[in-house]
């Protein structure tokens, strides 16, 4: 019997191999009993079946939702869960390859009673984006992604043309791509590549628009660590034209 806490359990082999380009390890400390149970029992109920493409995200939820939002690499789920609490008419899909982050988020989703409005993808978001129907989501979040600071690892950065094409395909006109990072070179990298893409426009008009979090920002543990260590986060909002 396979171990449900193993990172590739239940994931297509090609997904596991391809996804490794955008992150490092998939598993950290041993899971607590409640976390392992959540991986084994709750995750299958909330998981998006990307093998059954095209996937209309509105049909993933038991009741009607006004909009669908996707968060790529949600870590421990702090932003995903707090934002879902604040917007009870919106459906959320979170993608996260790291087993411990997924387990932590699952426990919190259950405790918050959000099983009806959050769906999950236990890998990075590439195959999820490929599976979703065009113009089907209103917002895509990429918050504090691994910046891969060494030059030889830059090819692993998520923000590149193919993935921007994917994001543009699933965002409805007027939808938003929201990006946050404390790593200045990756902020510059992202700004350059998104502005070069014809499907996006940067919404900032003043310095405060990218220096200050957007309204309703709940914060994340990555942000707390960055500020504690003296790094200044940036918050970029791009509109789908």
User: 240, 223, 228, 146: which is closest to 185 by C-alpha?
Assistant: 146
Catalytic residue among 8, 49, 66, 146: 146
Q: How far is CA 223 from the centre of its chain?
A: 15
The question of whether 146 is a catalytic residue gets the answer: yes
Structure tokens at 79: 């932003």
Mind giving me the DSSP string for 149-186?
A: -SGGGGGG-S-SHHHHHHHHHHEEEEEEEEEEES-HHH
Q: How far is CA 232 from the centre of its chain?
A: 21
Burial 88-122, CB ≥16 within 10 A → b, else e: eebbbbbbbbbbbbbbbbbbbbbeeebeebbbbbb
Beta bridge partners of 175: none
Query: In degrees rounded to 5, what are phi and psi of residue 113?
Result: 70, 40
What stretches of the chain adopt beta strand conformation (E)?
Answer: 67-72, 90-95, 118-121, 137-143, 171-181, 200-202, 234-240
* Residues tagged active-site: 146
């Amino acid at each position: 019997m396979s171990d449900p806490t193993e990172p590739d359990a239940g994931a297509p082999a090609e997904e596991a191999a391809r996804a490794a380009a955008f992150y490092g390890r998939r598993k950290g400390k041993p899971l607590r009993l409640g976390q392992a149970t959540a991986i084994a029992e709750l995750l299958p109920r909330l998981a998006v079946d990307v093998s059954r493409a095209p996937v209309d995200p509105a049909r993933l939820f038991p009741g009607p939702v006004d909009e669908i939002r996707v968060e790529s690499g949600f870590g421990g789920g702090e932003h995903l869960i707090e934002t879902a609490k604040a917007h009870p008419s919106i459906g959320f899909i979170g993608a996260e390859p790291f087993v411990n982050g997924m387990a932590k988020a699952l426990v919190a989703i259950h405790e918050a009673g959000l099983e009806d409005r959050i769906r999950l993808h236990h890998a990075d978001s590439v195959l999820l984006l490929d599976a979703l129907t065009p113009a089907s989501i209103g917002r895509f979040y990429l918050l504090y992604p691994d910046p891969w600071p060494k030059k030889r690892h830059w090819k692993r950065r998520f923000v590149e043309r193919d993935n921007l094409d994917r994001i543009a395909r699933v965002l409805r006109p007027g939808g938003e791509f929201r990006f946050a990072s404390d790593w200045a070179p990756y902020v510059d990298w992202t700004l350059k590549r998104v502005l070069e893409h014809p499907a996006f426009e940067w919404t900032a008009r003043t310095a405060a628009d990218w220096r200050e979090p957007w309204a309703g920002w709940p914060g994340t543990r990555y942000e707390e660590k960055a500020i504690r260590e003296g790094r200044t986060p940036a918050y970029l909002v791009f509109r789908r034209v």
